[in-house]
Structure 1
Amino acid sequence: MSTQNQHKSLVLALLISIFLTKNCADSDDQTECLSETKHPYMNFATKTPYYHAHGNIREELSTLQSSGCDVHSVWMMVRHGSRHPTKIDGSFIRHHLPLLRKKLVNAYHHGLGSLCRKDLELLKEWDPDKLSHDRRMQLFETGRVEMKELGARVREALPHFFKEGVLEHNVSIWSTNTDRTKETAKVFLEGFSPSQNLEKNIVVKEHDRIMEFHEICHKYNEKIFNGSHIPAFLKFLKGPELLSVVGSVSERIAVPVERLHVVLMYNACRYYKVMEPLKHSAWCAVFSRKDMEVMEFGEDLFVYHDHGYALDITYEQACPAVQDLLQRFRYQSDSSVFYFTHLETVVKVMTRFGFFNDSKPLTWNAMDSRRRWRTSDFGGFGSNIAFLLTKCRDVGYGCEIRVCGSCHIRMRWTVNTYINEKKVHLPRCAYTTGCPWLVFQQLYGQYAVCPFDELCGNKGFGSKVVSEQWKFWRKLNILREL
């Protein structure tokens, strides 16, 4: 090959290289184009949209019923649907990201960074005002639709159990006193029983021991504020994993950014994808898949120390919810209850039952991609846990009793558990048709007695014992989700 041809080949190779960098036709993870990705990373930790994480309770219960089980009672706890950001989240996004966008657009036009052209166009079209200040903490329309559809699936899964005539008397609906939970309960009921107005049956409680026990547990608030979770999380914020994300994003957009900017871009990425699920979320384009995994782990780490297994009191305080479940199932009545609450409560109840417990505790310097503790799977918007008291044919016993030549199959009471409409086995009690009631009582019957005030050290603190300092920290921490 002549020198001239070699030169032409090198120029052509350089042009192809530039083209691939800007358009990401066949790129590696660091230069992947969001606009050309068929399956973008959707594990958004506590902001994971429900449509990405849920199963189908209708199919699950169809399988259960075909195995010879009849449902007699339902106990379900639901986190509110996807919502607008907090005041501080929305304000930071609206005021900081437009200026950052201006800088990265300018850098792109100077031939810097590795953003794809289509992704740049997404960022140019991004509208910060869609996160309305007036709608802060209220449900997105997608949140309303998802929770209405959840209600419809629950009702359709048990049409013979949830009959029209008994809904007024046999179904209880409870909600915390926030707009997002009350609205979630309302739209759930619209899907659950569109022909009846059950909204008037919603019981609203504030600082309730079942739905908001963490708000009135002095020992928990004291330990969390002064405990190990803040140093652990701060170490992560200053650690190499997050710094690698800061460097990766800075290089990708050719604008030096700080950790705060990364968190804001990550939150904008998540909120807009939840709000508009059929569209690409512009700010997701600044992250690689690896970056997303690090950000997901960071929030998992925080939630682990806040709601998980880091401190015993975190899950011990959930005993009022378990006590309520035991009391309702003990009498084996055909009644059901639905609680609409927040992340703190739902995850702590899951933790109390031992779900998602890794053999090793989560630490800031060990990001395990195989960990069980992934809030994207169980702690996103709309996440829920349901316990069903069922009466099942005990096929293992065969023909237990014969009367006049007829075979009477032995029946037994079991408890079936579902998280986000997917069947899960209780730790230490994995049976196809659910955990036998007698075994369930042996494992969790101790919580039928729940000395909550003693456990929480509430004596002398009254009913509202939330630390004002802890409230302040929670408001400042923009990675924390409620």
Structure 2
Amino acid sequence: MSRYFIIFITIVIILNQSFNATNLKPKDIRNYLGTRTPYRFKNNKNDTKIKFPSCKDVKIWMIIRHGTRLPSAKDIVGMNTTLNNLKYEILLKNKQGKGPLKKDHLKLFEKWKSDISVDEEKYLTLEGQDEMIQLAERMQKRFPNAIKHKYNNKHFKFKYTATQRAQQSARYFTLGLFDKNNSQNVIYEPALKVDTTLRFYKHCDKWQKQVKKNPNTYKEQILYGNSHEMNMTLLSVSKKFGLDRVLSLDTVVLIYKICGYETSWHKYFSSPWCLGFDDFSIKTLEYYHDLKHYWLDGYGHDLTYHQACMILKNMFEIMSKDSPTATFLFAHSGTLLKLLTHLHLYKPDSHLRGDIKDEQRVWRASDIDCFASNLAFVLFKCNDEEKLLTLHQERIIKLPMCNEELCSFEHLKDYFKNSIHNCDHSDMCKLD
């Protein structure tokens, strides 16, 4: 009996950890991990069928950011060198009694190691696979008419970018929609090296030069990186690790990133690197990264979001055709953020600045662009009228140009007629 009791208690503890990990308190630092925030903290777990009186869901178009991935090659090297060396320095200082870390925290550092190969940079993780399977299952329950249970090439369209993480996200998503045998029969559209729909910005020469490679794009982030708040954060993180020196901004940013990655990868393991942050410092790092994404992917430059007409035009074209009934596109953070901006969503009252932190901003990557972020448009036939429902992170949202959540499809086509009919990628992106 005692053995079974121990097993029972173990299961209860694991379930309790799982519950706590998906029901975060506002001050939990895991709420503020930016684009590396786990989707399990942000998704909508209510998967009941979404219904409207006298309406029927007939089509769905959905764009999905790939699931949780491994870091970039640069950050993997940083883990294997900078953080590996720092780990031993932290252990030494704290064992000498110079640091505040407790025994159980030191054990986390002792166990921590980085053995990720650079060859696996940005690969989809096991958690990323789970995110896709579960997302597909929930969406199918909400819209069973638009998303059929049996696969048919005429009813479904799947497309991904030419990256391992997007391709694997698509494959695990189909595993969630269909059983294992049927998912093996799914036909995917060929991935394009030059994809002006799913990665329009990568191939927009004008945007690459005027925005991405323009130093002015990053001036607000750099300003905040030199602020008093950031200096206080560098000092705070250094003290929490028991160091007698102040860590550089680059090192603290790397710690913030790896804290985010490891929190995303592991449901039941706490990253020791998260121990360096408190409520103040984690929000400082979050804002530092929000400044970058706002000016690079958001409202900072008109061309950034104007070019997102490419992906929005795709949605309107597919919704206006006879088939397929379900379209699922797998892309990246840069695609989602620019599309959200094109739709006038999460727009702050004024541009985000580096000399003052906007605590009340709606532009917060932790909420709007975590791993596996997604945006769905569902077409409903309501008597003789077609209406469009919008969901972001699986939650119904009202578009700013609509009076209601279920919005007239004709109204939206009229509102975005310029995006649909005057969206020429080559013309928009050619260098003057």
TM over 0.5: yes
Provide the rounded CA distance (Å) in 1 between the counterparts of 2:416 and 2:46: 25
Matched, 1:222 2:212: no
Mapping 1:7-22, distance limit 5 Å: none
Displacement of 1:198 after TM fit? Answer: 3.9
For 1:238, give the aligned amino acid. Answer: N
Q: Does 1:425 align with 2:398?
A: yes
1:162 counterpart residue number: 147
Whether 2:321 is the aligned partner of 1:317: answer: no
Aligned partners of 1:76, 1:69: CA distance in 2, in Å?
20
Q: Which structure has the greater CA radius of gyration?
A: 1
Paired position in structure 1 for 2:109? 123
The alignment covers a number of residue pairs equal to 401
Q: Which moved more, 1:106-115 or 1:370-379?
A: 106-115
TM-score (norm 1): 0.79
SS at match of 1:169: coil
Pick from 183, 189, 201: which aligns with 2:188?
A: 201
Aligned to 1:11: none
Correspondent of 2:128 among 139, 143, 148: 143
**Structure 2 counterpart of 1:258:** 248
Worse-matched range after superposition: 248-257 or 314-323: 248-257
Task: For residue 247 of structure 1, report the CA deviation from its aligned partner.
Answer: 0.7
Work out whether 1:44 is the aligned partner of 2:44.
no
**Does structure 1 retain, via aligned residues, the 8 Å contact 2:58–2:145?**
no
Structure 2 Cα separation of the partners of residues 326 and 160 of structure 1:
20
1:446 equivalent in structure 2: 418
| Aligned residue in 1 for 2:259 | 269
Which residue, 297, 301, 308 being the options, matches 2:298? 308
C-alpha separation in 2, matches of 1:77 and 1:86: 23
Mapped to 2, the partners of 1:185 and 1:202 lie a distance apart of 11
Bigger Cα displacement from structure 2, 441-450 vs 369-378: 441-450
Aligned to 1:284: 274
Cα offset, 1:120, TM superposition: 2.2
Structure 1's 38 and 368: CA in aligned 2 closer, same or farther, altered over 3 A?
closer
Q: CA deviation at 1:281?
A: 1.3
CA distance in 1, matches of 2:316, 2:46: 22
| Aligned-pair CA distance for 1:305 | 0.7
RMSD across aligned positions (CA): 2.0
Q: Is the 8 A contact 2:67 2:128 kept in 1?
A: yes
Q: Tell me which residue corresponds to 2:83.
A: 97
Question: How far 1:136 moved relative to its partner?
Answer: 1.9
Q: What is the one-letter code of the residue matched to 1:182?
A: Q
Matched residue SS, 1:309: coil
State the Cα distance separating 1:415 from its structure 2 match: 0.8
- C-alpha distance in structure 2 between counterparts of 1:146 and 1:163, whole Å: 20
Superimposed CA distance per residue, residues 423-464 of structure 1 (whole angstroms, 9 cap, x where no aligned partner):
1111121414x11122212321221111222221258xxxxx
Gaps of 5+ in 1: 1-36, 393-409, 460-482
2: CA distance, partners of 1:307 / 1:150: 25
1:399-437: per-residue Cα shift (whole Å, max 9, x none)? xxxxxxxxxxx54211110111111111121414x1112
Equivalent-residue separation in structure 2 for 1:340 and 1:334 (angstroms): 16
Give the secondary-structure state (helix, strand or coil) at the position aligned to 2:329: strand
Local SS of the residue matching 2:378: strand
Q: 2:102, 2:117 → 1: CA distance?
A: 28
Distance 1:145 1:164 in 2: 19
Write out the 4+ residue segments of structure 1 that deviate beyond 6 Å after TM superposition.
none
Q: Which residue of 1 aligns with 2:96?
A: 110
**Given that residues 72 and 332 in structure 1 are in contact (C-alpha distance below 8 angstroms), is that contact kept between their aligned partners in structure 2?**
no
- What secondary structure sits across from 1:173 in the alignment? strand
Is residue 45–residue 296 contact of structure 1 (8 Å, CA) maintained in 2? yes
What is the CA deviation profile of residues 194-245 of structure 1, one whole-angstrom value per residue up to 9, with x for unaligned ones? 2412443343122211101001111111111125222222222222222111
AA at the equivalent of 2:228: P
Q: Offset at 1:157?
A: 2.4
Q: Distance in 1 between matches of 2:73 and 2:51?
A: 46
Structure-1 separation of matches of 2:249 and 2:378: 44
1:73-88 to 2 correspondences below 5 Å: 73-88=59-74
CA–CA distance in structure 2, aligned partners of residues 381 and 272 of structure 1: 13
Q: Does 1:457 align with 2:401?
A: no
2:169 maps to 184
Distance 1:147 1:132 in 2: 24
State whether residues 57 and 422 of structure 1, in contact with CA within 8 Å, keep that contact through their aligned partners in structure 2.
no
Alignment match, 1:337: 327
Alpha-carbon distance in structure 2 between the residues aligned to 1:425 and 1:187: 29
* Aligned counterparts of 2:194 and 2:46: Cα–Cα separation in 1: 30
Cα deviations across residues 300-328 of structure 1 (Å, max 9, x unaligned)?
Answer: 11000110000000000111111111222
Match of 2:157?
172
Secondary structure at 2:330 match in 1? strand
Could you tell me how far apart the structure 2 residues matched to 1:266 and 1:132 are? 20
Preserved CA contact (<8 Å) 1:76 1:338: yes
1:163 positional shift? 3.0
Q: Deviations over 1:114-142 (max 9, x none)?
A: 2233222212221222x343422111111
1:294 aligns with 2:279: no
Q: Which amino acid aligns with 1:335?
A: T
What SS class does the counterpart of residue 208 from structure 1 fall into? coil
Give the match's secondary structure for 1:204.
coil
| AA matched with 1:41 | I
1:69 aligns with 2:55: yes
2:221 matched residue in structure 1: 233
Amino acid at match of 1:453: S
2:341 corresponds to which residue? Answer: 351
State the percentage of identical aligned residues: 25
